[in-house]
Amino acid sequence: MGYHARFRFEASAMHFSLFLDIFNFIGIFVFAVSGAMRGVRAGLDIFGIVVLAVVTAVSGGIVRDVLIGAIPPQSIRDWHGIALAVVAGLLVFFFHRLFERMQYPVLLFDAAGLGLFAVTGTQKALDYGLAPEMAAVLGMISGIGGGMVRDVLTAQVPVVLRGDIYASAALLGAILLLGGDWLQLPAWLSLLLGASCTFVLRTLSIYRHWTLPHPR
């Protein structure tokens, strides 16, 4: 590979890595907001709200990193993600009335985080050499992990176990990212497509009360 070709390849890889980091940080922020809002509704103090924001934001990513062998996990190696989650928790603590004015604030922020983490988790699993099928599963785990921990800590049955279209929405986003990769679409477009479809499906399921089948 010539110098110019190698330079273009490295520049392209750098841009994609930056785009992936931006997606990941947005996911951390919106998941942290959803966790903090749940803490406000549960009547927690400022420490409890911030802790709930952090664990909601980073739990799914930690589980994913442990399973793919990225040790120590990214959230522990890099303090920026936790710092961003702390900032989001403090913003919600001081301005929670502003967030409350939005209809279904926790659910909408959670849907956004679900989509973003599903695709970034899938992409990271692919980068670590996992087969596409397992990468999709790891992407789903990245998306649902934080919400499950948030629900357990606030004494609620995790939404993923209640028949809601939640994990299936995350899995759809992961599969769409893999489809975009197979079709050789630009990486940013595949990420955006997967995250958007997860968000839309999860949001529609909230407003239209769609659920998975229950036993009769």
pTM assigned to the model:
0.82
pLDDT at residue 53, rounded to an integer: 95
pLDDT at position 16 is 60
% of residues, the chain, pLDDT over 90 = 38
**CA dist., res. 58 & res. 84, Å (int):** 11
pLDDT at 5: 41
- Residue 44: both structure tokens together: 């927690």
Query: How crowded is residue 11: how many other Cβ atoms within 10 Å of its Cβ?
Result: 10
Q: Which of 139, 146, 141 is nearest to 180 (CA)?
A: 139
Task: Please report, as a single letter, which amino acid is at residue 72.
Answer: P
Instruction: Please state, in angstroms and rounded to a whole number, the distance separating the CA atoms of residues 136 and 68.
Output: 12
Residues of the chain scoring pLDDT < 50: 2-12
pLDDT tens string 80-124? 899 999 999 999 999 888 877 765 667 788 888 888 889 989 999
- Per the structure block, which two tokens stand in for 20? 């992936």
The per-residue pLDDT for range 162-179, each reduced to its tens digit, is 767 888 999 999 999 999
